[in-house]
Chain A
Amino acid sequence: MLDDVRLPLGAGVETGVEWITANLSVLFDLIRTIVLGMFEAAEVAFTEPPALVMIAILGVVAFAVRGWRMGVGTVVGLLVVVLVDQWDNAMGTLALTVVAALFALLIAIPLGIWAARSDTVSAIVRPILDFLQTMPAFVYLIPAIILFGIGVVPGIIATIAFAMAPGVRLTELGIRGVDREIVEAGAAFGASPGRILRQIQLPLALPTIMTGVNQIIMLSLSMVVIAAMVGAGGLGQDIVQALQRIDVGLGFEAGLSVVILAIILDRLTNALGSLQRHSPLARLRSRRVAAAGAPTPATGTVAPAAAETDPAALTGR
């Protein structure tokens, strides 16, 4: 009996996209220009320096936030990427990931904050996020191609739509999870809502928000192959090629490069969320705190005590 009925949902969406292309093309051209400009700038920044210089820089960053083991791991992993001749592709993919993640964060964090402060916004945003996250990622590519043409931009846009959800969710969760009494304390001393957000809610929600950042980056990276299908290039392009030619060797090399990139990005962003005590950066920071308080006699007793609680400081480098 339902055979005769056809819900014209697809037709409706088509009409909508057509209307948008006809009337809002200026807007989409602008977005395209901005995204493309940022991607190209990032790609140049990553590929222009010699590979070994980039590896050294990334190695030092990894060491600073996580310690020598992470530093060595990063250098070895990236050398493997260079040796299988995937360096330029990897940097292209890194540029795409970074730009997509940046945009996703710019949307996700404010949205998450808003959702945390208003139950209404939260109730509206949640189903939309569910939709964005569960809709097969391929589907985003179709309107993206129509709106932005073939190339890296539709890949980035589709990636943003797909990767944004956990950023919003975890930001909201983090802020809502801050101890109610501490927020009350801020209010009780007369702090404004903006100040409570900046000085209490965001700092205390930071570990959770950083998990969201980590998730966004990981999901962005997972979109690499799909984005390559619309011409985004990078490692994904080689994987798509390898699939078409049934080239196991190329597929493995490009795939392994994605894995190495993913592990490095994951560990780095994870470490940023909760700077580990023994990381060189954290040690530097605690030293600076002790130095700042140095004029008072009391801190003389504090500095050595702080060193005692930090086992890594005793074992040293």
Chain B
Amino acid sequence: MSEPRVTGDETVADDIAVRVEHLTKVFGRRAGEAADRLAEGASRDEVAKLGTAAVIDASFEVRRGEIFVVMGLSGSGKSTLIRMLNGLLDATRGSVEVDGQPVTGIEPRRLRAVRRSQVSMVFQHFALLPHRTVLENVAYGLEIQGVDRDRRLELARRVVDRVGLAGWEERLPSELSGGMQQRVGIARALCADTPVLLMDEAFSALDPLIRREMQEQLVELQAELGKTIVFITHDLNEAMFLGDRIAVMRDGRIVQIGSPEEILTDPANDYVAQFVQDVDRTRVLTAASVMEPPAASVPLTVGPRGALKALRDVQSSTLLVTGPGRTVLGAVRDREVLRAVQRGDRDLAALVDADVHRVGPDTSLADLPELAITSGLPIAVVGDGGRLLGVIPRVMLLAALGNVPTDTSELAIVDLPPAVDPRLVAQTLDDTQEVSDAR
């Protein structure tokens, strides 16, 4: 116990950091009975006389190095849930494993050992020890782990520097602003050097500007340190920004687990759908989530005639042209293709406008409108080596920003109509077909 535990135990092949199975928590004298009835399918209201069901049959897995957000309104059971992950509350039913070690149903001594070595916590109202300095607070976890004083203060000093509080080590928490106090809270959890971090509404008590800054810092820290973070929040924007995956809770049950995009674009029920209505979609959605399969693209080798046929099939005014390995070369417009076909040109390359915007699949939606207005051409989404993954027609972009469902038929989605008369295209194709057939 004299040395702090090294994180990321390599001997555990499993990449699951936290495993929760059928976790139920009922408060009240007859909690067990209530839990059994819930398991048999009784509703929360039906067992209200037996006890208050805070968490009902929650199951999920948190992967190593992931930020897993549990989101719900107050009273949805999320705080109870997170307190069962480190055994601050006993589970009525179900099991929790952290790093392969059980947290539920073990004796207090072993539970304390798990808390010391596996999982630390950041609290909503910071929960710093007011009679200790910043440095002593940060070193608290190591102190309990039994690290000697000089060593733990040295390690704590490093973490204090890392969260940007250098120079404040000897102050008392009461001398710090809220944001700084929560930095101490985060530093304390980081300094304990456990692989899993639980954060209970960690930023909810901070004002919005500080909160945003802390969110960004947390993402940065997580990328650097590779901690597994379970983050509780009632703020959907925060959940969407931080979460690799999000579990949405309502009335003690988890109603959906998915990536922010899945939650946003494919809500499991009306509740989630209503919830995500107000979210700032541009912060969450990426190019990949709004792109279309690249139907409106042709290889360069098809020539003008092939391009014109494709244009006729997709009923669009523009077409992406790809080269070897499906790399994006540029786009062609129907008017020019038509003229080339009429002239009998065989070379499509001459018509290609290379000035097509190319974005990666992870590009934020917020960056796309600017590109869309500076070019009449669709935006190409490209992967490694410029390979075409999909295209974002301008109309799709508008639909995504306006939260208009593109997969229902209530609204007819109209892309830029072909700039030339389709009958003319058909006529031209027929005419040129004879020529090529005759040859």
Q: Which A residues contact B (CB, under 8 angstroms)? A: 179, 181-182, 184-185, 187-192, 195, 199-200, 203-204, 289-290, 293, 296, 298-299, 301-302
A297 → B minimal CB distance (Å): 9
Chain B positions within 8 Å of A195 at CB level: 144
Q: How many B residues touch the partner, as a band? A: 20 to 34
Q: Mostly helix, strand, loop or mixed at chain A's interface?
A: helix
Q: Which B residues contact A (CB, under 8 angstroms)? A: 83, 86, 88, 112-117, 120-121, 123-131, 140-141, 144-145, 157, 166-171, 188, 192, 198
Total of A-B residue pairs, C-beta within 8 Å = 74
Q: Can you report 23 residue pairs joining A to B where beta carbons are below 8 Å apart?
A: A181-B123, A181-B127, A182-B127, A184-B88, A184-B121, A184-B123, A185-B121, A185-B127, A185-B128, A185-B129, A187-B88, A188-B198, A189-B120, A190-B117, A190-B141, A192-B112, A195-B144, A200-B129, A290-B170, A293-B170, A296-B157, A298-B167, A298-B168
Known: A296-B169, A301-B167, A302-B171. A190 touches B116 (CB 8 A): yes
B82 → A minimal CB distance (Å): 10
Contact B166 A298 (CB under 8 A): yes
Q: Bound state CA distance, A190 and B128, in angstroms?
A: 15
Q: Bound state CA distance, A263 and B14, in angstroms?
A: 68
Contact A298 B170 (CB under 8 A): yes
Chain A positions within 8 Å of B169 at CB level: 293, 296, 298-299
Contact B130 A181 (CB under 8 A): no
A304 → B minimal CB distance (Å): 12
Q: Bound state CA distance, A186 and B114, in angstroms?
A: 14
Question: What are the 9 closest A-B residue pairs judged by CB atoms, nearest first?
Answer: A190-B116, A190-B115, A185-B127, A181-B127, A188-B121, A190-B112, A189-B141, A302-B170, A182-B127
Known: A200-B129, A296-B169, A302-B171. A181 touches B144 (CB 8 A): no
Chain A positions within 8 Å of B120 at CB level: 188-189
Closest to A184 in B: B88
Contact B140 A179 (CB under 8 A): no
Contact A179 B127 (CB under 8 A): yes
Chain A positions within 8 Å of B115 at CB level: 187-190
Q: Bound state CA distance, A124 and B126, in angstroms?
A: 35
Q: Bound state CA distance, A181 and B202, in angstroms?
A: 12
Contact A299 B123 (CB under 8 A): no
Q: Bound state CA distance, A295 and B187, in angstroms?
A: 22
Chain A positions within 8 Å of B86 at CB level: 188
Closest to B161 in A: A298
Q: Bound state CA distance, A290 and B172, in angstroms?
A: 12
Q: Bound state CA distance, A200 and B130, in angstroms?
A: 9
Chain A positions within 8 Å of B170 at CB level: 289-290, 293, 296, 298-299, 302
Q: Bound state CA distance, A181 and B122, in angstroms?
A: 10
Contact A190 B113 (CB under 8 A): yes
Chain B positions within 8 Å of A302 at CB level: 167, 170-171
Q: Bound state CA distance, A298 and B169, in angstroms?
A: 8
Contact A190 B144 (CB under 8 A): yes
B11 → A minimal CB distance (Å): 22
Contact A204 B88 (CB under 8 A): no
Closest to B153 in A: A296
Q: Bound state CA distance, A195 and B108, in angstroms?
A: 14
Q: Bound state CA distance, A204 and B128, in angstroms?
A: 12
Partner of B116, one of A189, A289, A293: A189
Q: Bound state CA distance, A189 and B157, in angstroms?
A: 19
B293 → A minimal CB distance (Å): 48
Q: Bound state CA distance, A181 and B83, in angstroms?
A: 11
Closest to B192 in A: A189
Contact A181 B166 (CB under 8 A): no
Q: Bound state CA distance, A293 and B131, in angstroms?
A: 16
Known: A181-B125, A189-B188, A192-B112. 10 other contacts (CB 8 A): A181-B124, A184-B123, A189-B115, A189-B121, A189-B140, A190-B144, A195-B144, A200-B129, A296-B169, A298-B170
Chain B positions within 8 Å of A298 at CB level: 166-170
A302 → B minimal CB distance (Å): 5
Closest to A203 in B: B131
B90 → A minimal CB distance (Å): 13
Chain B positions within 8 Å of A203 at CB level: 131
Chain B positions within 8 Å of A189 at CB level: 115-116, 120-121, 140-141, 144, 188, 192
Chain A positions within 8 Å of B168 at CB level: 298
A123 → B minimal CB distance (Å): 16
Chain B positions within 8 Å of A190 at CB level: 112-117, 141, 144-145
